[in-house]
Amino acid sequence: MASQNPWMQKPARGEPQPSDDGLVVDSATLAVADRVVLRELSLHVPLGETHVIFGPNGAGKTTLLAGLMGMPHVKIVWGDIRWRGASLLGFDITERVRRGLAMAFQRPPAVSGITLRRLTELILSNNGNGNAGAPPPPEEVQQRIFTLAERLDVLDLLDRDVNAGFSGGETKRSEIFQVALQNPQLVLLDEPESGVDVVNMDRIGRMIRSLLQRDERPGNRTVTGLIITHSGYILNYVNADCGHVLADGRIICSGNARDVFEHIHEHGFEACAQCPPCQVAERLRRRRES
Amino acid sequence: MPQPGAITPEIQDRMLEVGVDLSAHPQQRAGTYVHLNDRPLEARAEVDGLEVMDIKQALDRYEWLRDLYGTAVPRDRDEFTRAAEEELHGGYFIRALPGAQITVPVQACLYLLTEGMVQRVHNVIIAEEGSFLPIITGCTAHFGARRGMHIGISEFFVRRSATVKFIMIHAWNEEISVRPRSAAIVEGHGAFLSDYVCLERVRDVQMYPVARLVGEAATARYRSVVAAPAESNLDLGSGVRIEAPGGRAEILSRNVSTGGKIIARGRVEALAAGARGHLECRGLLMSEQGQIVAIPELTAAHPDVELSHEAAVGKIAEEEIHYLMARGLSRDAAIAAIVHGFLDLGIEGLPPVLQKRIDSLIALSDTEAMEGKQ
Ligand SMILES: Nc1ncnc2c1ncn2[C@@H]1O[C@H](COP(=O)(O)OP(=O)(O)O)[C@@H](O)[C@H]1O
Ligand SMILES: [Mg+2]
């Protein structure tokens, strides 16, 4: 049965270099409010690749990204999360941003008293991700904000308090806008397209595509991505390297992103549960055991 | 200890913190009033259509003022108003003549220089018909004067179609008690706009300024931005009584406790047709030692009025801190950004030094400890 699933036939790649093998979630058990949400989950996104995650509501997709980002409400009770060879577990959110992580939230909180413009100024005063180096001069800051804001159609949002009364689509554009200004190396996107109309889907899709360097040759890509998607629309813009299905707190299936998506589309998530463990998880397990 | 009688550079620096800049070019202020300890030092108008003098001098000059004096704040209202009148030190008389449009604020400073001083002042502000009168008043104490008391009576008379735009900034010391007693009477189509800022430690401040809207379509707005560091006690309120048709009242307050106690009161009484009032009180508790009490009161005594209030007191939402951290801000920078945003009511004309005060205030908070208790 397994051999008949074409999406399981992911072309073999060279074994990842342990020193710099992108994002590795190694047998991680994540709990929220004293309840285990993800159990011994393993996932590997090699450097420069973009993977997507599908999964039913409540599967723990947002929890996974929150755990990667270091949100304190998610506790890593077992296992490890490594980025470019180093464990992230001892680092707080800010320190992870400094290491290149950035996340677009599925449902970001409103922050009253801080406008979107003010927040983006703060992002740029940190040089995007808090790395050393002089911040750009004020005129350049405003210019970069304007150019990107125009591209994502968020000019009208700049002088409103962040996320206060933003519509679903406005929230998504504002999140991608902020992430793009962060100059990230590991881009985590939590349902970037839900609630977005066709025109804006195009804006967001193109921005994500360029953020993740999908127009570069695979060997030249330096930005790594992990995208949670419910609708799969993002696949029209980003030819992801791999798709995973997250259900029951585990990755239950991995393969060609489009194939996995179409299979879910036709047969639902229930059918995924019938599949054997995915190859990526298998590969990690083999490496651990060796 | 500096002797009363001269404005030393040290005194000037302290005045800057409450928005009074004596070194600025005279064109940057319409008039000046400086009161040191128990005596007036300077009282001067720089522009036409404006009068600035000491209240005693004004009472000598204008017979009609003697009838007006004490009509907004009764002299025997309480022990403090009585104490002020028994041994009055002075105070400012500021008057915009009919139609005068004063473009830059009158700057007034009430300065408590000497330890143990009990300052007693009585101010009268009159905006005659159709005039526009901006005033910034800084009330402060010298760094050496730890103990003391300030009793300040202020009576505002806003005539028909006139506007008073009043900013009061307080910066006291740890053992000083402060008792302002203030009231405004606003005539038809007049506007009384009052802003209050107090961010530094003080022993206690108790005040409840009230505006009466006695003419049709008059407006009163009170905004206040206050912080209570440990051992500060602030009992603050603002009230508006809408006595004539079409009056508008707005009371907004932002209160931060980093260990002290704040009682934030507010009251709108609507007695006439078409009255509209809104009261908004927000409190941010940044220490387990602190306390914030919000007491909003609305009274409707006419069927055709619209009154509302909004009150929220709590700590900074961790979710918001984490969100800003995910944008690369440190935890401290995220908290600072949130508190600055919280306290920003859009009051124009505040001295830049207040932003730094807010930063040092945040440094005194213990949100880490509060988070640990979650
Ligand atoms: N802050 C929280 N407190 C309690 N339970 C939570 C919290 N966040 C998520 N959960 C629970 O964790 C599970 C996974 O949620 P989530 O990660 O948001 O799922 P998904 O993103 O896949 O829809 C759900 O059962 C949800 O109710
Ligand atoms: Mg989710």
Note the pLDDT of residue B351.
86
Instruction: Point out which residues pair with A245 in neighbouring strands.
Output: A54, A253
User: In this structure, is residue B331 part of a structural domain?
Assistant: no
What letter represents residue B73's amino acid?
V
ipTM computed for the complex: 0.89
Nearest ligand to the C-alpha of residue A34? 1
pLDDT digits (tens, 9 = 90+) for B44-81: 999 999 999 999 999 999 999 999 999 999 999 999 99
d(CA A251, CA A284): 13
Chain B residues with CB under 8 Å of A113 CB are 338, 340-344
What's the B178 CA to ligand 2 centre distance in angstroms? 53
Cα Rg of chain B, angstroms? 21
Instruction: Find the closest chain A residue to B371 by CA distance.
Output: A72
Would you say residue B141 lies in a domain?
yes
Query: A111: which 2 tokens?
Result: 């922050």
pLDDT value at position A15? 45
Q: What's the rounded Cα separation, in Å, for the pair B278 and B280?
A: 7
Q: Is B319 on the interface with A (CB under 8 A)?
A: yes
Q: What are phi and psi of B194, to 5 degrees?
A: -125, 130
Instruction: Read off the pLDDT band of B277 (50, 70, 90).
Output: very high
Which residue has the least CA distance to atom 24 on ligand 1? A58
B101's tokens: 């449009």
Contact (CB<8Å) B338/A114: yes
- What is the side-by-side strand order in the sheet with A86-87? A35-45, A23-32, A74-83, A86-87
Ligand nearest to the Cα of A54, by number: 1
- Ligand 2 centroid – CA B294 distance (Å): 37
Identify the pLDDT of residue B255. Answer: 97
pLDDT band at A6 (very low <50, low <70, confident <90, very high): very low
Is residue B372 assigned to a domain? no
pLDDT at A123: 93
> Tell me, what's the pLDDT at A19?
56
SS3 B2: coil
Residue A49 pLDDT > 50: yes
- Rounded distance between C-alpha atoms, residue A185 and residue A103, angstroms: 11
Q: How do beta strands B132-141 and B118-127 pair?
A: unpaired
A275: pLDDT strictly greater than 70 = no
Nearest Cβ partner for B341 among A92, A97, A112: A112
In this prediction, residue A276 has a pLDDT band, given cuts at 50, 70 and 90, of: low
Residue A121 has pLDDT above 90, yes or no: yes
Q: What is the mean pLDDT of chain A?
A: 87
Q: Is A92 within 8 Å of chain B by CB?
A: yes
Q: Does B355 contact chain A (CB < 8 Å)?
A: no
Subunit contact B327:A123, Cβ cutoff 8 A = yes
Q: Report the percentage of chain A scoring pLDDT > 70.
A: 84
CA of A68 to the centre of ligand 2 (A): 14
Confidence band, pLDDT 50/70/90 cuts, at residue B3:
low
| Residue B374 in this model has a pLDDT that exceeds 60 | no
Is A8 a residue whose pLDDT tops 50?
no
Q: Sign of the C-alpha dihedral, residues B56, B57, B61, B64?
A: negative
Query: Quick one: closest CA in A to B321, which residue?
Result: A111
pLDDT on residue B168:
96
A246 at B interface, C-beta within 8 A = no
pLDDT above 70: percentage of residues in chain B: 96
Q: What does the pLDDT read at residue A12?
A: 40
- Per-residue pLDDT tens digits for A128-175: 666 656 778 888 889 999 999 999 999 999 999 999 999 999 999 999
Q: For the residues B170-189, what does the mean pLDDT come to? A: 96
For atom 7 of ligand 1, the residue with the nearest CA is A32
Distance from Cα A107 to the centre of ligand 2, integer Å: 8
Report the 10 Å Cβ neighbour count for A58: 10
Task: Please count the structural domains in chain B.
Answer: 1
DSSP lists the bridge partners of residue B297 as B267
Enclosing domain of residue B58 = 9-315
- At A231 the pLDDT is 86
- The yes-or-no verdict on residue A53 having pLDDT over 50 is yes
In this predicted model, what pLDDT tens digit does every residue of B10-28 receive, in sequence order? 999 999 999 999 888 878 8
d(CA B39, CA B42): 9
Is pLDDT of A107 > 50?
Answer: yes
Pocket test for ligand 1, best of A63, A74, A230 (most atoms within 8 A of CB): A63
Q: Answer yes or no: are the C-beta atoms of A263 and A7 closer than 8 Å.
A: yes
pTM score: 0.88
CB of B346 within 8 Å of a chain A CB? The answer is no
Of the candidates B317, B322, B327, the beta carbon closest to that of A182 is on B327
Q: How far is the CA of A269 from the centre of ligand 1 (A)?
A: 18
Task: List the residue whose alpha carbon is closest to atom 26 of ligand 1.
Answer: A58
Q: Residues of A numbered 114-143 whose beta carbons fall under 8 angstroms of chain B's beta carbons: which are they?
A: 114, 118-119, 122-123, 126, 128-130
Token reading at B265: 């009161």
B226 within some domain: yes
Which spans in chain A are helix H?
Answer: 61-69, 93-98, 116-125, 138-151, 168-181, 198-211, 257-272, 279-289
- Centre of ligand 1 to C-alpha A63, Å, is 6
Name residues contacting ligand 1 (CB within 6 A): A 32-33, 37, 55, 57-63, 73
Asked whether residue B339 is assigned to any structural domain, the reply reads no
Distance from A178 to chain B by nearest Cα, in Å? 8
C-alpha span between B17 and B74 (Å, rounded)? 32
Instruction: Give the residue, B211 or A254, on which the prediction is more confident.
Output: B211
User: Would you kindly state where each structural domain of chain A is located, as residue ranges?
Assistant: 12-289
Residue B63 to residue B125: CA distance in whole angstroms:
16
* Residue B29, number of CB atoms within 10 A of its CB: 23
**Model confidence over B119-134: pLDDT tens digits?**
999 999 999 999 999 9
Inter-residue contact B174 to B144 (CB < 8 Å) = no
Residue B204 CA to residue B115 CA, distance in Å, equals: 16
CA dihedral of residues A253, A258, A264, A265 (deg, nearest 10):
180
Q: Say what the pLDDT of residue B363 is.
A: 79
Single-letter code of the amino acid located at A50: T
B345 touches chain A (CB under 8 A): no
Q: With CB atoms and an 8 Å threshold, state whether B328 touches A114.
A: no
Q: Which residues of A touch B327 (CB under 8 A)?
A: 97, 119, 122-123, 178, 182
The residue whose CA is least distant from atom 18 of ligand 1 is A62
CA angle A22, A120, B352 (to 5 degrees): 140
pLDDT at position B342: 94
- Taking only Cα atoms into account, the Rg of chain A, rounded to an integer number of angstroms, comes to 19
B373 touches chain A (CB under 8 A): no
Question: A12-289 in CATH: which number?
Answer: 3.40.50.300
Taking the Cβ of residue B326 and every Cβ of chain A, the question of whether any pair is shorter than 8 Å is answered with yes
pLDDT the model gives residue A23: 97
Q: Which ligand is nearest to the CA of A246?
A: 1
Helix (H) or strand (E) holding B56: helix B55-61
pLDDT reported for residue B124: 98
In the block, tokens 């053992």 appear at B175
Q: How far is B298 from chain A (nearest CA, A)?
A: 26
pLDDT band, very low/low/confident/very high, at A216 (cuts 50, 70, 90): very high
Task: Using the atom order of ligand 1, give the atom closest to the CA of residue A191.
Answer: 21
